[in-house]
């Protein structure tokens, strides 16, 4: 499931949402939103808005000077003794990691939660070569045992009950533990501790990459992120090129808004700053440190000014939590590892409108996501542009809407603008519908219009508007 | 500048998208992207705030008046947490305080912090210093160096951090200014936690289950 089935059919997926999904989603999102609200209130709305604006400005500055900051980061990582790899797309990124694993004769990999690796389907690529990949974030570990991907970017297994998890552990791990969060967590701790100590490679993502010093920043709670980057002999971080920030000062702002928006914490339990491998031989930590800078469509997102701000995203998940659509369908319906409003923006631009053109329509455009976004991404404006791209195409992509619909709309547009054509059309319609008309309804129409009439009848065409209006006025 | 052709390609695409030529200077970070640093309160109030915040996150705090207090506190900790093996940073401060010696005298087996990961993982207790403490969030900043192995605050079940007043910093702005060239550092805020199962808070999923922060004042 971590690799998307294309094209993504949101409407069909939405018809297969398990009945208990909305309730469990809403329980989780309500908790995060509640925690967040309390912290925002404690700061005061004025200060919060100042922080949001600053966070927006620093992210926008970073992505509009992206080439310079990437070069600076590459120089700094290299100077710190780390290795920088560039990956144009998913296949190239997977190949880099695979070669690294082969070079070090790695049989087992431990991974901390990373949406970039979900995006490129890294686990599949490694497993296909016989390398065991173990997700170590508790939620990811659980959904991996289930053979699924994350249902939420922050809490991947939030839709499962403790009874279901206990049954899963019994079946997959052979451990009989009571259905209690504490006991189940202990089981995972014991199992995963052994994996950390015996893995040959640790893989992480990166919440930020500081250009100034070439520092990979990871923001976590459980400690598995520290394990994956500290205990195995080799560490590789897969980081999207959009994750860059200019300097440490910029990060103070982003860290303040990230945890508050994500889980409603002031700061997460562990925030790690890794600049290359340990500097002294006597220092513990991985002997090799690698950074894979992933493009995979991000440089293209940058091209269109109307959609560029997609790349400001810091993956906090607040827009998922507030979204009325997400709250009713859950993460899997989006068919992409990142779900909710921000997932729609990324999926439809990275995969293209042919594969994910339905997603920009999976929104009510209510704008709650705009208001909660800690980096002030104008999400609904970008969604509207993407809808436009799907329907009519833009400088990046051709339209994806069926040509029949587009031709129909064009014909309609001409007919409605030309009075004589309009009159001709309405008399033709009256004549054409006569054999199908039953009272005031058309019960059955030939294809492709039958797609409407198989669900409900179509009101028969009464008259053209002008003549209808004349008759109506006479009656009064 | 980039070291391989994929890098050249990606940078070229980014420049095309941004309509920029190569080698353009970076504009300075706009002033609107900066926020004012926090102003620190009086030292006692800062300690009070730090301890309150650590307490909210299930950390255990204690004030110690001197080395005798430290010995007593260590004896209690060894008993409460059933410590049989421990490991400890080898920084000058912790060496002078002879934390390892005190633990040894209490019958605890001392494992070298630079021993292999398997041995350090067998310890119940890891003792570290604190390189910076941030009261606002109850956060400890720990650096890495040959005397400060990263695993000491990670692999053992219990993490004890011995804090000095001199480690207090106003906020991240100040702490980052000092730590950014360190090569590695970690911000620790409370013991390891997860809410991944039914949103129930559970401590110690991968990192330490318990965090003790002791402020040591010596007159």
DSSP state of A345: H
Which of A24, A31, A68 would you mutate first to test chain B, the one with the most B CBs within 10 A?
A: A68
According to the model, what pLDDT value does residue A405 have?
A: 77
Q: Which two tokens stand for residue A300?
A: 């293209």
Taking CA atoms, A157 is separated from A137, A246, A265, A331, in Å, by 10, 34, 19, 10
- The residues, any chain, with a CB within 8 Å of residue A120's CB and separated by 6 or more, are A90, A93, A94, A238, A294, A296
Strand stretches in chain B, DSSP E:
60-64, 85-88, 109-111, 125-129, 132-134, 139-143, 158-163, 184-188, 193-194, 202-203, 210-216
Give the torsion sign (CA, A171, A172, A175, A181): negative
Q: Is residue A284 within 8 Å of A227, Cβ to Cβ? A: no
Q: In what order do the strands lie in the sheet with A458-459?
A: A437-438, A441-442, A458-459
Taking the model in full, what pTM does it have?
0.91
pLDDT at A2: 42
Number of C-beta neighbours around residue A247 at 10 A:
19
Q: Is the pLDDT of residue B2 over 50?
A: no
d(CA A150, CA A225): 17
DSSP state letters, A163-191 = HHHHHHHHHHH-----S-HHHHHHHHHHH
Per CB-CB distance under 8 Å, the chain B contacts of A53 are 32
Question: pLDDT at residue B219 above 50?
Answer: yes
Which own/partner contact pairs does A423-432 have at CB distance under 8 Å and 24+ positions apart?
A: A423/A464, A423/A466, A426/A461, A426/A463, A426/A464, A427/A464, A429/A461, A430/A461, A430/A463
**Residue A275: strand, helix, or coil:** coil
Cα–Cα nearest to A322, from A370, A358, A360: A370
Task: Flag if B6 and A87 touch (Cβ within 8 Å).
Answer: yes
Tokens representing A218? 């990871």
CA distance to partner chain A, nearest, from residue B8 (Å): 9
- Low-confidence spans in chain A with pLDDT less than 50: 1-2
Give chain B positions within 8 Å (CB) of A156. 196
Supply the pLDDT for residue A412: 87
Q: Phi first, then psi: what are they for A84, rounded to 5°?
A: -105, 130
Specify the pLDDT at position B4.
Answer: 73
Q: Cα A25 to the chain's mean position, in Å?
A: 16
State whether CATH 3.40.50.10420 applies to domain A65-296: yes
| CB neighbours of residue A348 within 10 Å | 30
Using alpha carbons, list the distances in angstroms from residue A122 to A5, A92, A282, A335. Answer: 15, 11, 33, 17
Q: In the structure encoding, which two tokens stand for residue A440, read together?
A: 């005031």
What is the model's pLDDT at position A476?
Answer: 53
Q: How far is A117 from chain B (nearest CA, A)?
A: 19
State yes or no: cis peptide before A118, omega within 30 of 0: no
Task: Identify the pLDDT of residue A147.
Answer: 92
Question: Are B18 and A273 inside 8 Å of each other by CB?
Answer: no
The full length of chain A comes to 476
Name the residue among B3, B16, B145 with its Cβ closest to that of A280. Answer: B145
pLDDT at B139 over 80: yes
Cα–Cα distance list, B33 to A9, A53, A65, A254 (Å): 40, 7, 14, 10
User: Shortest Cα distance from B61 to chain A (angstroms)?
Assistant: 17
- Best CA proximity match to A85, nearest among A103, A68, A69, A73: A73
Query: How far off is chain A from B68, nearest CA to CA, in Å?
Result: 31
Q: Which of B14, B33, B197 sits opposite A162 (nearest CB)?
A: B197
Q: What average pLDDT does chain A have?
A: 93
pLDDT of A154: 85
For B150-178, b/e burial (b = at least 16 CB within 10 A) is bbbbbbbbbbbbbbeeebbbbbbbbbbee
- The predicted pLDDT at position B1 comes to 43
Single out the residue of B129, B138, B137 nearest to residue B166, CA to CA: B129
d(CA B30, CA A204): 31
Look at residues A317, A372, A375 and name the one whose alpha carbon lies nearest to residue A342. Answer: A317
User: What pLDDT does residue A474 have?
Assistant: 64
- What lies within 8 Å, CB to CB, of A143 at 6+ separation is A135, A149, A150, A151, A156, A157, A160
Q: What is the pLDDT of residues A190-201, one digit of tens each?
A: 999 999 999 999
B137·A267 Cβ contact <8 A: yes
Dihedral in degrees, nearest 10, Cα atoms B150, B152, B155, B160: -130
Inter-chain residue contact A284 with B4, CB threshold 8 Å: no
- Among residues A379, A343, A4, A436, the alpha carbon closest in space to that of A152 is found at A343
pLDDT digits (tens, 9 = 90+) for B66-82: 999 999 999 999 999 99
- Cβ-in-10-Å burial (0-12, 13-18, 19+) of A434 comes to exposed
Instruction: Domain ranges for chain A, please list them.
Output: 65-296, 403-475
The torsion of the CA quartet A69, A53, A362, A147, rounded to 10 degrees, works out to 60
Neighbours of A424 (CB within 10 A): 13
A129 secondary structure, DSSP code: T
Confidence of residue B119 (pLDDT cuts 50, 70, 90): very high
Domains, chain B, with CATH or none: 45-216 (3.40.50.10420)
For the segment B31-55, the average pLDDT, to the nearest whole number, is 96
Task: Give the Cα-Cα-Cα angle B164, B167, B170 (nearest 5 degrees).
Answer: 135
Chain B environment of A215 (Cβ under 8 Å): 180
């Amino acid at each position: 499931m971590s690799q998307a089935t294309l094209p993504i059919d949101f409407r069909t997926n939405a018809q297969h949402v398990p009945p208990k999904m909305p309730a469990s989603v809403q329980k989780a999102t309500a908790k995060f939103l509640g925690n967040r609200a309390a912290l925002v209130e404690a700061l005061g709305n004025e200060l919060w808005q100042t922080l949001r604006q600053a966070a927006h400005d620093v992210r926008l500055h970073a992505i509009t000077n992206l080439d310079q900051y990437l070069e600076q980061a590459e120089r700094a990582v290299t100077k710190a003794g780390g290795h920088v790899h560039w990956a144009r797309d998913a296949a190239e990124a997977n190949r880099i990691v695979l070669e690294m694993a082969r070079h070090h004769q790695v049989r087992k990999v431990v991974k901390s939660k990373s949406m970039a690796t979900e995006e490129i389907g890294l686990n599949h690529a490694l497993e296909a070569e016989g390398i065991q990949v173990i997700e170590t974030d508790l939620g990811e570990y659980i959904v991996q045992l289930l053979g699924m991907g994350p249902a939420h970017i922050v809490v991947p297994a939030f839709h499962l009950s403790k009874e279901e998890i206990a049954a899963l552990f019994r079946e997959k791990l052979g451990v009989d533990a009571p259905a209690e969060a504490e006991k189940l967590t202990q089981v995972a701790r014991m199992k995963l501790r052994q994996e950390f100590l015996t893995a040959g490679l640790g893989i992480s993502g990166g919440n930020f990459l500081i250009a100034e010093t070439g520092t990979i920043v990871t923001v976590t709670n459980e400690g598995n992120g520290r394990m994956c980057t500290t205990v195995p002999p080799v560490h590789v971080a897969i980081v999207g090129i959009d994750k860059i920030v200019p300097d440490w000062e910029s990060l103070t702002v982003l860290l303040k808004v990230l945890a508050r928006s994500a889980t409603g914490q002031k700061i997460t339990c562990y925030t790690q700053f890794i600049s290359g491998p340990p500097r002294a031989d006597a220092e513990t930590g991985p002997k090799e440190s690698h950074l894979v800078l992933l493009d995979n469509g991000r440089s293209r997102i940058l091209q269109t000014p109307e959609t560029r701000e997609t790349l400001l995203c810091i993956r906090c998940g607040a827009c998922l939590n507030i979204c009325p659509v997400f709250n009713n369908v859950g993460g899997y319906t989006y068919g992409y590892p990142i779900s909710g409003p921000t997932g729609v923006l990324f999926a439809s631009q990275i995969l293209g409108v042919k594969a994910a053109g339905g997603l920009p329509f999976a929104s009510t455009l209510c704008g709650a996501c705009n208001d909660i976004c800690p980096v002030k991404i104008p999400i609904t404006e970008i969604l509207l542009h993407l809808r436009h791209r799907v329907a009519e195409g833009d400088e990046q992509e051709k339209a994806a809407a069926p040509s029949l619909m587009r031709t129909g709309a064009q014909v309609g547009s001409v007919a409605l603008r030309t009075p004589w054509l309009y009159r001709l059309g309405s008399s033709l319609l009256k004549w054409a519908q006569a054999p199908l008309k039953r009272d005031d309804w058309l019960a059955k129409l030939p294809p492709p219009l039958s797609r409407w009439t198989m669900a409900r009848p179509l009101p028969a065409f009464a008259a053209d508007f002008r003549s209808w209006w004349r008759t109506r006025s006479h009656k009064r | 500048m980039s070291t391989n052709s994929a890098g050249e390609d990606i940078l070229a695409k980014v420049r095309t998208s941004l309509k920029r030529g190569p080698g353009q200077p970076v504009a300075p970070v706009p002033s609107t992207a900066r926020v004012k640093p926090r102003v620190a309160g009086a030292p006692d109030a800062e300690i009070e705030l730090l301890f309150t915040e650590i307490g909210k996150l299930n950390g255990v705090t204690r004030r110690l008046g001197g080395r005798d207090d430290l010995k007593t506190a260590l004896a209690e900790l060894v008993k409460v947490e059933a410590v049989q093996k421990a490991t400890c940073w080898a920084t000058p401060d912790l060496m002078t305080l002879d934390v390892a010696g005190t633990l040894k005298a209490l019958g605890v087996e001392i494992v070298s912090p630079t021993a292999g990961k398997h041995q350090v993982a067998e310890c119940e207790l890891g003792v570290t210093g604190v390189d910076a403490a941030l009261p606002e969030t109850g956060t400890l900043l720990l650096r890495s160096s040959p005397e400060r192995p990263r695993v000491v605050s990670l692999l053992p079940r219990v993490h004890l951090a011995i804090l000095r007043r001199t480690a207090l910093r106003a906020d991240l702005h100040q702490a980052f200014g000092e730590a950014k060239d360190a090569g590695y550092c970690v911000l620790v805020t409370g013991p390891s936690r997860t809410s991944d199962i039914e949103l129930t808070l559970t401590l110690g999923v991968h990192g330490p289950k318990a965090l003790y922060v002791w402020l040591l004042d010596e007159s």
